[in-house]
Each structure stands twice: as C-alpha cells, then as structure tokens.
C-alpha cells in the first residue's frame, strides 16, 4: 500500500512529530508501506512530481497559489486524503492572523498569498486528524483502521474527560481561563496536566456548547473576553460557526 | 478441552470457529454457517453469541440455527455498521471468534402445549429462527403454530427456502407493506392481519422486529386479548461484554439485555424499554 | 481488638503493608487537591482530608486495561484498502489463539473514607456476580482496605442521607478514626489482625465509636423512581452543562466500559483486546449502527446517569449506586447538583 506525506504552508511540526514520536512504530511504517513522498525523511522517489498514493497525509494550511495547485494535484492522485494537524483541518493561527493583515500591501502582493484556508475549503477531505501538533498515537490508530477498511474515529469527548480521569486540579477552579470543556479531546489533556490551560488546539469538541461554557465562566467569575480570544487563536475556521453569535 | 476451561476462567476470551458457508439471503443480508472448532455449543432458542472479527471488533447476534446441531451455528447478519459491513467480506475458510451463548432464552416449557404465535418483521426473523426451527422439529409439543412474517419489499425477504419447508408443518404467512403488483401473499403491516389469525387467551406470542414496530405489535396483541405475561419480545442493544459488566445494554427499569434478556416477557419491562 | 496509636505510629502502617507484599495506595495531597495514588517511600499519606478527586475504581477497573492478546494472520501489504481477514490454515483455525496471562498484584487501599469503601462494595456487587469478571476478581482477591473515618463532609457530601457512612461488614480490614491527639484502630478481619499485631500495642477497652458525619447541607431523597425521574424538569439547571463527563469520570461507582481492539504498527497481526472507560455523557455511549443516538439531549444523559445510580441499581443489584461522595458535584465545572434533583433540602 502506498502512502505519501505532504506539507503545505506550515511549520512541518506535525511531520516532525511523526518522525520523533512514532518510536518503534516508525520502523513498522517504513517496512510495511511504500512511502514515495516524505520529503522530511528522504528525497521523493519521483522527484517533484506528486505520486499516486492510497492514503495521502497533508499537513499545513492553504495560503499560496502554489499550495492550492499542489493540493489539487494531491487530491487527484490519492484515493484517501487525510488532513494532518490543525492547520490542515481548520487553518490554525494562520486563519485568523492572515485575515488581520492587509494582503494587498505591496510587499505581500508579490508572494501570491491569500487568506489561509483549511484543506476542506479547497478540496474534498476524507478525514481530519486535529492537533497542534498531531498526536502520533492518533495517527497510528487512524492508519490502522484505514488499512482495515474502517473509518477512523474522531474523539467524541472534550479535554476535560481525560483531564479529570488523570485527577488533575481544575484550572477553572483556580480562576484561570481553560478551554477544556469546549475542546476536542484525544490529546490526553497534555497541557492542563502540566498546569497550562487548554487553548483548544484540536478544534471544538463534537458536542461543544459555547453557551454552556460561557455560563460556567460567569459562575466561576471569569471574564469571557480572554476565552473568546483563545478560542479564535487555534480553532480557525472551525470556531466560526461556534462564535457566530459572539462577533 | 482447553477452550472450555479457558472460558470458565475468563468469559472474555473467544473460542475459535471457521466460516464454512456464506449464503446470500437478500441484497443486504447474509447467513454465515460457522463450524465450531474443537468445542460444542449448548444453546436454547433465543440466546445470542458475540461474534469477533479479528481486527474489527465484536457484536452480538442471535443464533439462527437448530438447537440439535451442536457443532455448527448460523448467524444472519444485515449490513448496517462497520462490523456488519466487514462480515459481508467473509469467505469460507475465514476464522472468527465466538463468545457465548449468552442471555436468557425463550422459556420453552412455558410455550409448549399452547398456541404459539411468532411475529417477525424485517431482520427480526433472525432472532426467532431458532425458535421456529424448534417448533417445526418438535411440532407435537405445540398446539397451533402460526408464523407471521412482515417485510417492506419483496427483495427484503430472507429464509425463502426455509419458509417453504416450514409451511409444511406450521401456519406461515408473509405480508409485504410495499408489495409489487404480482405479489400473491398478504399486503400491509403485520398488525393488519392479526384479526384473521386464531388468537386469544391461550396464545403465547414471540415478537421481534425494529423497536417502533415491536411496540405497536405488542399493543395490538394486548388488544387481541393476549396477556402481557404471554408476550415475549426479543430486544437488541449495543453491547460489549455480554455478561452484565459493561452496562452498555441497560434498558429503562435497570435490566441488562445481555443477562436478563434478550428475551423478555412484556410484563417484566417498562413500556418505554422496547422503544428507547 | 482495638488499639490507640499516635499519628506517627499510624503512618508506619503503609510501610508495614508494603513489607507484607501489598502495593499501597493512599490519598496524597498534590497541587491543592487530594487524590489516591501509589504511595512512594518518601511521600506521606494525607489524613486530614474530605474528598479525593479519584476513587478506588481507578485501580480496580483501570482504564485501557489489556484483556488478552490474540494473533491473527492478517497482512496489510495488499494494494488498495481491502479487508484481509486471517484465513484458517488447514482445518485448524489457528488464527485466533488468545493469550491470557493474569497478573497478580495485591493492592492495599490505605486511609479511604466510608463512601469509597461503599463504592468498592457496589463494584463488587456488579463485577463479582455470576459470571465474575476475572480481571476485577484478580485484583479484589487479597486486597486490603484500611478505612479512615470521616467526621464531617463538605458542602457536596450526602452520605448521611444514603447511609453510606456505615462500613458494611467484611469490606474494611481495619478501621481507623481520629480520637483526641491520636488514632483508634480496630481490626475487622484476619488480615487486619495480622497487621495490627505488628504494632505490638495494648488492647484498649471499650467499643469502637460509630458517629454520623456532619453534613453542611442535608437532603432527603424524594425522587428515586424511574417514572418520577423521567417526569421531573431538569433542563433549567442543565443549561450550563458542557457535557465534559467529569461527573461520570470522578464517580466512584460509574463502571461503564467499552471493549475494543488495539493494534500497533510494530506487529499489526498481534491484536490486543482492551477495556477502556466509557461514559453515558458521551455521544457514542448510545449511538448505534446507522447513527441513531438514544440519549441525544443533555437532559436525557443527566437523567440516565441519575437513573443508573438509583432505580436501575436498586432493581438490578438491590443496592443504591450512589455513595454520596459528592465528587460529581464538586468536579462539575457548572456546579450541577443532582441532590437538588433527587432530593429536598432539610434544615
């Protein structure tokens, strides 16, 4: 089975995470699959051409015209396209940031950049794996389900679910803004476990309820402005629907 | 045998079985014939097994074969979710795992020497097939045996060959709610044809179908004078363990479908339990 | 036998337990909260606490527990996304050969309150009834419980109403309570006797005192019936519910589980069947093939949780599933209080 890993405009952090965090699984990945395109690891087999692949993992947001062209080519050459990481699934920081600058300014016009978009705004995406960076464990689980012809599963719980089962003290109780109740889980509550609030880097949870969350903040005596700012930071396009009443 | 002692020690461990035949019942339904490897099953009609597809998962299915054959079991499976779709890729020779049989079966003694009415709609007939076969094989133990089988389209009908056999000894009728013009049998829903059947106080009924249909059938049977303690329904729920530990198959009233069911007397479950 | 010891002597008990071969789990204060955790040699158990944010459940029914492994002959070198099932080689289906190696570890729960002892009783009732869950049984057999009496609850407790401040016979091996500037310890089982004999203290005359813990808020149960719960209005207090499932995660008796296959890329034919935690507050709890979700609304999920604790448990196990520990209220970001739903405040 052929796999391919691409990066559009991004920090390539997701692909780096896969290399560093897959551990012993990385060897299995290279042993079992034909990987024709994974620039970070080795020279692509077919040169700059986008090869045919069964599953393509694409990292990064669509920002430049070149991104757009590459992505269309990837879509045409791949049976299954997985958006890898938050940039690819929701636009991440670039989504909001690129809308805050004047892209028509002279020094930017030549770069042929347009406001950042997630992959799904440009092509049909078969599955989205969120996370900034993506979790190597979730990547493995999704891949193993895919090769068994099963659709991968998005976590249907929020960050609180895993945070609470680790027995962490709640940051909201300490009057700190934490997006845990709104954020999609699956990360093992990595940030709150070390005492740093959740920024919802994986996008909103499947059943995120902003209204309920704002009431919670009010009950705890925490202002909502910071929470909304944090929510806009990572969730990009996905927060749009959630925040439509809060503009 | 190793497998049996292992099961006693740990009910979570599946016992091996081999697919020996796959029969296409309808477009979406297949019947798997499984040969049990090195073990025998001792089930009573109404019980279910957990079928394990290696690498895919586990799901409960009612045994749809004769109790007298302890070396084989049949499972009729309609394509719905991931696991049941995977089932449709199975070929003879493939290995699967079986846990069980689990659950409370039909109380055969309570059914014998009475008029037995079996009502199945859609794929619900799979859960009742072992009871139908029992009634056919032990015809003398029952008075009247009536089977009323309802489906939507003619293409949805399963067990066509078996139905021809059963018709010789029991009173079987099929009704289609979306029947084609050339259809010779009954038309409409099963509840439309209850009046034509000879049912009354002495009748016991066994019902299986989709939740909403099942509750309307149950209501209709009560109207026709069958007491709720003589109506048996076979319920289906999402379940994981099969032994009452994971609480996934709880129904209103606090009963576990896996250990207290899947066959319930209508009188022992609350009204909302069938539908919810 | 009942003995009187100083606090210092009481704190020797955990090391005595480890010397007897137990892995000791005790309440530990960390970052402003108290939780049950394995006791290291350099950590002191916390004795002056009201609530632990986790419960014995974490150790008796651990999340992500490997049930067994099996080998399948599946290969994934095929082209395209095709399902490859393990094929029986010859007449013998060698494909599924489960490996099951029970591990024996003797646990000792040190210094847990009555509500948590009662939660062990509830889990026992569910897990040990026929057929017993082998994994749970393995851990539960030979487990040691050193109970520490709680004298006053916080604003979330409800053990007085439910009677769960009483320790059922046979569930605690020793009972401990603060008395003056020291502690009273009573043995309750043979294992407890063995432990106390190591302290070499004189027997104290008298009866082990039984006291009812003080409650900040007192409730009486008014709604415990299936239909009553269904009929009662709950949506108003649930507006703030974020469905974070903290209530079921921190509940000492929520035992709902999922069972799934886990594999790795190292050896995909080696499959591990694992048991993971599940919650009725999650969507997938009640979603079935085809996409129908039985418990779609917040209100339905909340009521399902309450019903599982009261009518369902009373019907199925003859035991109330709530131990009144109050964790679900204390840990709820929205402060949703089920006591106000099932009970009435009494002065």
SS3 assignment for chain B: CHHHHHHHHCCCCCEEEEEEEEEECCCCEEEEEEEECCCCCCCCCCCEEEEEECCCEEEEEECCCCCCCCCEEEEEEECCCHHHHHHCCCCCCEEEEEEEEECECCCHHHHCCCEEEEEEEHHHHHHHHHHHHHHHHCHHHCCCEEEEEEECCHHHCCCHHHHHHHHCCCEEEEEECCCCCCCCCEECCHHHHCCCCCCCCCEEEEEECCHHHHHHHHHHHHHCCCCHHHEEEECCCCCCCCCCCCCCCEECCCEEHHHHCEEEEHHHCCCHHHHC
Residue C325: its pLDDT value, please?
93
User: What does the pLDDT average to over B134-143?
Assistant: 92
Residue B5: its pLDDT value, please?
60
- Chain C: give the shortest CA distance to residue B87, in Å: 10
Q: Rg of chain B's alpha carbons, rounded to an integer?
A: 18
> B71, exposed or middle or buried, with CB in 10 Å at 0-12, 13-18, 19+?
exposed
Q: Quick check: C129 and B244 CB within 8 A?
A: yes
* pLDDT, tens digit, 9 for 90 and up, residues C60-81: 999 988 888 877 655 444 333 3
- Report whether C161 contacts C343 (CB < 8 A): yes
User: What does the pLDDT average to over A227-238?
Assistant: 87
Ranked by mean pLDDT, the top range of A243-247, B38-42, B70-74, C290-294 is B70-74
- Report whether C37 contacts C24 (CB < 8 A): no
Residue C286: its pLDDT value, please?
84
Residue C172: its pLDDT value, please?
92
> Which one of C57, C96, C129 makes the best mutation probe of the B interface by having the most chain B beta carbons within 10 Å?
C96
Q: Does pLDDT of C91 surpass 60? A: no
Residue C84: its pLDDT value, please?
44
Question: Could you give the CA distance from residue A91 to residue A97 in angstroms, rounded to a whole number?
Answer: 10
Residue C89: its pLDDT value, please?
40
> Would you state the structure tokens that stand for residue B202, as one six-digit string?
């002495």
Which residues 6+ apart lie within 8 Å of C135 measured at CB?
A: C65, C67, C102, C275
Q: Does pLDDT of C263 surpass 80? A: no
Q: Quick check: C282 and A212 CB within 8 A?
A: no
Residue C97: its pLDDT value, please?
62
User: What does the pLDDT average to over A14-39?
Assistant: 88
Which residues 6+ apart lie within 8 Å of A227 measured at CB?
A: A177, A179, A213, A214, A217
Buried b (16+ CB within 10 A) or exposed e, C271-307: bbbbbebbbbbbbbbbbeeeeeebbeebbbbbbbbbb
Q: Does pLDDT of B251 surpass 70? A: yes
Which residue from B minimizes the CA distance to A152? B82
Q: Which residue has the tokens 């067990």?
A: B159
Q: Which residue has the tokens 């919802």?
A: A200
Question: Could you give the CA distance from residue B94 to residue C94 in angstroms, rounded to a whole number?
Answer: 11
User: What does the pLDDT average to over B107-120?
Assistant: 92
Q: Mean pLDDT, chain A, as a whole number?
A: 89
Q: Which residues of B touch A150 (CB under 8 A)?
A: 56, 82, 86
C-alpha dihedral (C300, C305, C307, C310), degrees to nearest 10: -160
Q: Which residues of A touch C81 (CB under 8 A)?
A: 1, 54, 79-80, 146-147, 149
Question: Could you give the CA distance from residue A140 to residue C265 in angstroms, rounded to a whole number?
Answer: 7
Q: Which residue has the tokens 């509940």?
A: C251
- Chain B: give the shortest CA distance to residue C307, in Å: 8
Per cent of chain C over pLDDT 90 is 47
For chain C, how many structural domains are there in total?
1
The contact set of B with A (CB < 8 A) is 55-56, 82, 86, 89
Residue A102 has φ and ψ, to the nearest 5°, of -85, 105
Q: Which residues of C touch A220 (CB under 8 A)?
A: 333
Q: Which residues of A touch B55 (CB under 8 A)?
A: 148
Question: Could you give the CA distance from residue B260 to residue B262 in angstroms, rounded to a whole number?
Answer: 7
The phi-psi region of residue A63 (left if phi > 0; otherwise alpha if psi is between -120 and 50; otherwise beta) is alpha
Task: Report which DSSP code applies to C28.
Answer: E
Which residue from B minimizes the CA distance to C69? B13
For B246, the closest of C95, C259, C308 (CB atoms) is C259
Which residue from A minimizes the CA distance to B81? A150
Q: Rg of chain A's alpha carbons, rounded to an integer?
A: 19
Tell me which residue of C42, C45, C62 sits closest to C54, measured CA to CA: C62
Residue A241: its pLDDT value, please?
78
- Report whether B178 contacts B89 (CB < 8 A): no
Give this complex's ipTM.
0.88
Residue C81: its pLDDT value, please?
32
User: What does the pLDDT average to over C151-155?
Assistant: 90
Quickly list H helices, A101-209.
106-109, 136-147, 159-165, 190-193
Tell me which residue of B122, B11, B103, B252 sits closest to C286, measured CA to CA: B252
Which residues 6+ apart lie within 8 Å of C50 measured at CB?
A: C150, C152, C153, C154, C157
Tell me which residue of B210, B25, A195 sits closest to C30, measured CA to CA: A195
- Report whether B244 contacts C129 (CB < 8 A): yes
CATH number, domain B2-101: 2.40.30.10
Which residues 6+ apart lie within 8 Å of B268 measured at CB?
A: B255
The contact set of A with B (CB < 8 A) is 148-151
Domain ranges of chain A: 2-147, 159-242
- Report whether B117 contacts B197 (CB < 8 A): yes
Q: Does pLDDT of C86 surpass 60? A: no
User: What does the pLDDT average to over A23-38?
Assistant: 86
Ranked by mean pLDDT, the top range of B22-26, B196-200, B271-275, C77-81 is B22-26
- Report whether C175 contacts C149 (CB < 8 A): yes
**Cα–Cα separations (whole angstroms), residue B198 to A163, B148, B193, C154:** 62, 12, 11, 65
- Report whether C115 contacts C323 (CB < 8 A): yes
Residue C209: its pLDDT value, please?
86
Tell me which residue of C157, C326, C329 sits closest to C241, measured CA to CA: C329
The pLDDT confidence band at residue C85, using thresholds 50, 70 and 90, is: very low
> Would you state the structure tokens that stand for residue A24, as one six-digit string?
């012993």
- Report whether B211 contacts C221 (CB < 8 A): no
- Report whether C304 contacts C267 (CB < 8 A): no
* pLDDT, tens digit, 9 for 90 and up, residues C175-214: 999 988 899 999 999 999 999 888 888 888 888 888 888 9
Question: Could you give the CA distance from residue B13 to residue A247 in angstroms, rounded to a whole number?
Answer: 55
Which residues 6+ apart lie within 8 Å of B219 measured at CB?
A: none
The pLDDT confidence band at residue B85, using thresholds 50, 70 and 90, is: confident
> CATH fold of B108-275, please?
Rossmann fold (3.40.50)
- The answer to which of B36-45, B133-142, C87-96 has the lowest mean pLDDT is C87-96
Residue A43: its pLDDT value, please?
86
Q: Which residues of B touch A148 (CB under 8 A)?
A: 55-56, 86
Neighbours of chain A (3+ CB pairs under 8 A): B, C
- Report whether C1 contacts C205 (CB < 8 A): no
- The answer to which of A37-51, A163-177, C332-346 has the lowest mean pLDDT is A37-51
* pLDDT, tens digit, 9 for 90 and up, residues A104-140: 777 777 777 888 999 999 999 999 999 999 999 899 9
User: What does the pLDDT average to over C304-310?
Assistant: 92
- Report whether A171 contacts A178 (CB < 8 A): yes
Residue A167 has φ and ψ, to the nearest 5°, of 75, 30
Q: Quick check: A32 and C331 CB within 8 A?
A: no
* pLDDT, tens digit, 9 for 90 and up, residues B145-172: 999 999 999 999 999 999 999 999 999 9
Q: Does pLDDT of B272 surpass 70? A: no
Residue B7: its pLDDT value, please?
61
Q: Does pLDDT of C88 surpass 50? A: no
CATH 3.40.50.80 maps onto chain B at 108-275
| Residue of higher predicted confidence among B212 and A87 | A87
CATH number, domain A2-147: 3.40.50.700
Positive or negative, the CA dihedral B245, B251, B255, B261 is: negative
- Chain C: give the shortest CA distance to residue B146, in Å: 31
- The answer to which of A26-40, A147-161, B3-17, C272-286 has the lowest mean pLDDT is B3-17
The residue count of chain C comes to 347
Q: Does pLDDT of B3 surpass 70? A: no
Per cent of chain A over pLDDT 70 is 98
Q: Which residues of A touch B89 (CB under 8 A)?
A: 149
The pLDDT confidence band at residue B195, using thresholds 50, 70 and 90, is: confident
* pLDDT, tens digit, 9 for 90 and up, residues C93-127: 345 566 777 777 889 999 999 999 999 999 999 99
For C333, the closest of A79, A146, A172 (CB atoms) is A172
> Which one of B85, B254, B255, B256 makes the best mutation probe of the C interface by having the most chain C beta carbons within 10 Å?
B254
Q: Report the DSSP pairing between strands C2-6 and C182-187.
A: antiparallel
Q: Which residues, in sequence order, are bridge partners of residue B99?
A: B50
| Residue of higher predicted confidence among B78 and A246 | B78
Question: Could you give the CA distance from residue B181 to residue B183 in angstroms, rounded to a whole number?
Answer: 6
Tell me which residue of B263, B142, B270 sits closest to B206, measured CA to CA: B263
Residue C87: its pLDDT value, please?
41
Chain centre to alpha carbon of residue C76: 40
User: What does the pLDDT average to over C6-22?
Assistant: 91
Q: Does pLDDT of B35 surpass 50? A: yes
Task: Tell me the residue range of the domain where C208 lies.
Answer: 2-346
Residue C76: its pLDDT value, please?
45
Question: Could you give the CA distance from residue C294 to residue C105 in angstroms, rounded to a whole number?
Answer: 39
CATH 2.40.30.10 maps onto chain B at 2-101
On the CB side of B131, CA atoms within 13 Å amount to 34
């Amino acid at each position: 089975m052929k796999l391919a890993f691409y990066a559009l405009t991004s920090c390539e952090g997701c692909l780096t995470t896969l290399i560093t965090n897959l551990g012993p699984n990385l060897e299995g990945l290279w042993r079992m699959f034909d990987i024709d395109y994974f620039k970070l690891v080795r020279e692509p087999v077919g040169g700059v051409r986008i090869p045919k692949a069964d599953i393509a993992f694409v990292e990064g947001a669509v920002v430049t015209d070149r991104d757009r062209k590459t992505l269309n080519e990837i879509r045409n050459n791949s049976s299954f396209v997985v958006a890898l990481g938050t940039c690819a699934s929701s636009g991440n920081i670039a989504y909001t940031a690129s809308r805050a600058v004047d892209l028509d300014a002279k020094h930017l016009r030549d770069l042929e950049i347009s406001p950042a978009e997630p992959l799904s705004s440009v092509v049909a995406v078969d599955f989205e794996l969120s996370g900034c960076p993506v979790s190597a464990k979730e990547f493995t689980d999704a891949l193993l389900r895919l090769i068994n012809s099963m659709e991968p599963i998005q976590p249907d719980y929020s960050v609180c679910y895993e945070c609470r089962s680790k027995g962490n003290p709640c940051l909201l109780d300490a009057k700190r803004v934490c997006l845990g109740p709104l954020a999609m889980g699956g990360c093992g509550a990595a940030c709150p476990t070390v005492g740093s609030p959740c920024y919802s880097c994986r996008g909103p949870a499947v059943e995120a309820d902003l209204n309920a969350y704002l009431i919670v903040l009010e009950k705890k005596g925490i202002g909502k402005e910071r929470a909304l700012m944090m929510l806009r930071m990572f969730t990009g396009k996905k927060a749009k629907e959630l925040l439509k009443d809060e503009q | 045998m190793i497998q049996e002692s292992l099961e006693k020690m740990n009910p979570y461990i599946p016992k091996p079985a081999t697919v020996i035949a796959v029969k296409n019942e309808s477009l979406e339904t297949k019947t798997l014939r499984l040969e049990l490897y090195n073990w025998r099953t001792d089930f009573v009609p109404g019980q279910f097994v957990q079928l394990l597809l290696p690498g895919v998962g586990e799901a409960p299915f009612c045994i749809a074969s004769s109790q007298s054959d302890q070396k084989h079991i049949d499972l009729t499976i309609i394509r719905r979710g991931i696991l049941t779709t995977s089932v449709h890729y199975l070929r003879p020779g493939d290995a699967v795992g079986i846990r069980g049989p689990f659950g409370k079966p039909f109380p055969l003694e309570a059914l014998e020497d009475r008029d037995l009415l079996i009502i199945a709609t859609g794929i619900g007939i799979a859960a009742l097939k072992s009871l139908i076969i029992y009634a056919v094989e032990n015809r003398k133990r029952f008075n009247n045996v009536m089977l009323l089988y309802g489906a939507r389209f003619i293409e949805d009908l399963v067990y066509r060959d078996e139905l021809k056999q059963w018709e010789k000894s029991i009173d079987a009728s099929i009704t289609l709610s979306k029947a084609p013009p050339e259809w010779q049998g009954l038309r409409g829903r099963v509840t439309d044809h209850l009046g034509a059947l000879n049912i009354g106080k002495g009748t016991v009924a066994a019902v299986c179908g989709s939740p909403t249909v099942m509750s309307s059938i149950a209501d209709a049977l009560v109207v026709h004078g069958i007491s709720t303690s003589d109506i048996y329904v076979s319920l289906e729920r999402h379940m994981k363990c099969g032994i009452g530990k994971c609480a996934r198959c709880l129904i209103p009233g606090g009963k576990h479908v896996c250990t207290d069911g899947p066959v319930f007397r209508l009188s022992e479950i609350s009204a909302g339990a069938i539908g919810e | 036998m009942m003995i009187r010891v100083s606090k210092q002597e009481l704190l020797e008990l955990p090391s005595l337990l480890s010397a007897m071969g137990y892995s000791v789990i005790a309440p530990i204060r960390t970052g402003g909260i108290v939780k049950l955790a394995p006791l290291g040699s350099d950590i002191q158990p916390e004795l002056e606490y009201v609530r632990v944010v986790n419960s014995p459940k974490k150790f008796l029914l651990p999340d992500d527990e490997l049930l067994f492994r099996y080998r399948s002959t599946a290969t994934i070198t095929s082209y395209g996304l095709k399902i490859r099932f393990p094929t029986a080689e010859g007449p013998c289906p060698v494909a599924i050969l489960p490996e099951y190696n029970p591990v024996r570890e003797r646990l000792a729960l040190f210094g847990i309150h009555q509500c948590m002892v009662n939660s062990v009783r509830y889990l026992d009732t569910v897990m040990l009834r026929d057929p017993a869950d082998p994994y749970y049984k393995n851990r539960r057999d030979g487990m040691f419980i050193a109970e520490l009496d709680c004298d006053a609850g916080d604003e979330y407790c409800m053990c007085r109403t439910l009677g769960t401040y009483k320790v059922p016979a046979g569930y605690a091996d020793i009972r401990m309570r603060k008395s003056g500037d020291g502690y009273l310890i009573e043995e309750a089982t043979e294992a407890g006797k063995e432990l106390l004999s190591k302290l070499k203290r004189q027997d104290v005359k008298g009866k082990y005192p039984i006291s009812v813990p003080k409650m900040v808020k007192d409730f009486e149960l008014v709604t415990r019936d299936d239909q009553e719960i269904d009929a009662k209005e709950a949506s108003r207090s649930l507006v703030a519910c974020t469905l974070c499932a903290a209530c079921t995660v921190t509940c000492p008796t929520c035992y709902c589980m999922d069972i799934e296959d886990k594999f790795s890329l190292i050896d995909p034919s080696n499959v591990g069947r694992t048991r993971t935690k599940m919650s009725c507050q999650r969507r997938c709890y009640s979603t079935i093939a085809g996409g129908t979700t039985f418990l779609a609304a917040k209100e339905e999920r909340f009521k399902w949780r309450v019903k599982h604790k009261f009518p369902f448990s009373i019907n199925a196990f003859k035991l109330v599933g709530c131990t009144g520990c109050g964790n679900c209220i204390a840990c709820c970001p929205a402060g949703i209080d089920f006591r106000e739903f099932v009970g009435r405040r009494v002065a």
